[in-house]
A and B are shown apart, each in its own frame.
Chain A
């Protein structure tokens, strides 16, 4: 290999090495972006999850009231049944 050929090869390798460094920087940035994207996505989903939990918890008193209504309904219906029994027995 001649000196000229060696010089040309050395320059090419240097250029390519520089290109590799540029690509490495780009890859680092992409990796950083992955971390940020994942952090954002997870944070948003966690916020949403917390809101869903809050919303579900806020329904508990409603269920409790509905259970109370059911109990009262049972009582009212008892009375209606008893009234009918008495009434028909007299007839």
Chain B
């Protein structure tokens, strides 16, 4: 058999088994090891399969999904259920007749007792009628029992079949879970890598911002010196001839350009990493979906046909227990990465550490709070310890390891806040908890 796409194979089954005489027996659609079994089916069996596939033909699910659609099609259950319902109707008919007989017997019995009490002859002939009624009743009950046995056989078959298909589904759900679990764990690690990339980007961004501020400061001071030189009576040309001035201007321009290029490069790398992670997550989705398909097909439960218990055996309880079928818990499906997108941001609408917007190159404002990372961390931990206890303090060693910052790196409060937020996100700790500390630190 040629390798064809799942959809094509299903269409082939659909068209061929609807016309079993055209082109001989259709075996397309079944796995090669099952083709032999299909070709040995009787004409009637093939006709039945045709009906089932015809119903399925409108559902566009390929591969295993398609076969699930066929195997779990209501068609099979309906066939058993139609028969079960027919037998149940027959039993109801017997019950009705027995009930009528019982009522008649009761009335005749009352007349017999009345006749006997009044010593009026004729009671015996009525008692004979009662016997006839009793025979008829027994006959009806026997027929009802036979029908009930037949019904139970069909009903049990339906339940057994349901159990069997559920058993297959459960087996595959279990197998999928075994493989999907490590896949989800790996995706979770990738999600952490994405958070780490964000943290690294923030660290670089804070460092770049700090450097740009300092370059701006140097440039301002250079301009002040140039103005002072001009004040001494030097011409602009003479001032421009100072090698230090020319070199400095070149370096400032070059420095800004290097930062711009590096930002672009880092953004490109970050986007590349995000893209790889998103692709990995997207690739996992069809497997998650297939597992869910197996879970969902079990939701189609057989019709429960309630029957009256046998009269001679009122204690009867059906021994057939339909096994319970675990369902995927609500919220199990969505992508891990999708979830992460929603909610671990510590703050809304920007950093809580944002300083008042002033002159971007203002040095005075920045120098006041530009501290070493170590000093910021020590300050943070002091506040956290005072408010929440030592358990919530940050491990300085871990912070420095993850951010790749040195304890002597100088950053301003706003920059430290941004890095801290990304650090908490990476560590999956809700930063909102520390809102009070953040407010105190910002004041």
Contact = CB atoms under 8 A, between A and B. Distances in A.
A41 B79 CA distance: 67
B404 A88 contact: no
Given A35-B258, A38-B262, A80-B164, A23 B251 contact: no
Contact of B190 (A28, A33, A52, A71): A52
Contacts of B272: 49
A24 B64 contact: no
A28 B168 contact: no
User: Most chain-A Cβ atoms within 10 A of its Cβ — which of B179, B180, B197, B203?
Assistant: B179
B164 to A, nearest CB: 7
Contact of B204 (A28, A33, A41, A91): A41
Contacts of A77: 64, 67-68, 70-71, 168
Interface stretch (B108-116, B228-236, B434-442): B228-236
A17 B243 CA distance: 10
B168 A17 contact: no
Interface string A1-44: 00000000100110011011101101110110111011011101
B333 to A, nearest CB: 16
A21 B270 contact: no
B298 interface: no
A53 B189 CA distance: 12
B234 A78 contact: no
Interface in A34-91: 34-35, 37-38, 40-42, 44-46, 48-49, 51-53, 55-56, 58-59, 62-63, 65-66, 69-71, 73-82, 84-89, 91
B83 interface: yes
A55 B190 contact: yes
A75 B31 contact: yes
Contacts of B164: 80
Which applies to chain A's interface (DSSP): helix, strand, loop or mixed? helix
Interface string B142-173: 00000000000000010001001100100110
Contact of B179 (A69, A75, A76): A69
B48 A89 contact: yes
Interface in B186-233: 186, 189-190, 193, 196-197, 200, 203-204, 207-208, 211, 214-215, 218, 221-222, 225, 228-229, 232-233
B71 to A, nearest CB: 5
B374 interface: no
Interface stretch (B37-45, B308-316, B375-383, B388-396): B37-45
Given A34-B258, A73-B172, A56 B276 contact: yes
A31 B200 contact: no
B255 A62 contact: no
Nearest to A1: B233
A84 B76 contact: yes
Given A41-B203, A77-B70, A82-B41, A88 B186 contact: no
A73 B161 CA distance: 17
B283 interface: yes
Contacts of A79: 34, 37
A91 B290 CA distance: 33
B41 A89 contact: yes
Contacts of A85: 41, 45-46, 48-49, 52
A89 B67 CA distance: 20
A74 B31 contact: yes
A11 to B, nearest CB: 10
A56 B193 CA distance: 12
Given A27-B255, A85-B46, 20 more contacts: A13-B229, A16-B232, A19-B225, A27-B218, A34-B262, A37-B262, A42-B269, A45-B197, A48-B273, A49-B269, A49-B273, A59-B280, A66-B287, A70-B63, A73-B294, A77-B168, A80-B164, A82-B38, A84-B76, A91-B79
Interface of A: 9, 12-13, 16-17, 19-21, 23-24, 26-28, 30-31, 33-35, 37-38, 40-42, 44-46, 48-49, 51-53, 55-56, 58-59, 62-63, 65-66, 69-71, 73-82, 84-89, 91
Interface of B: 30-31, 33-34, 37-38, 41-42, 44-46, 48-49, 52, 63-64, 67-68, 70-71, 76, 79-80, 83, 157, 161, 164-165, 168, 171-172, 175-176, 179-180, 182-183, 186, 189-190, 193, 196-197, 200, 203-204, 207-208, 211, 214-215, 218, 221-222, 225, 228-229, 232-234, 242, 244-245, 247-248, 251-252, 254-255, 258-259, 262, 265-266, 269-270, 272-273, 276-277, 280, 283-284, 287, 290, 294, 404
10 contacts: A17-B242, A34-B262, A38-B258, A73-B294, A74-B31, A74-B63, A76-B171, A76-B172, A77-B168, A89-B42
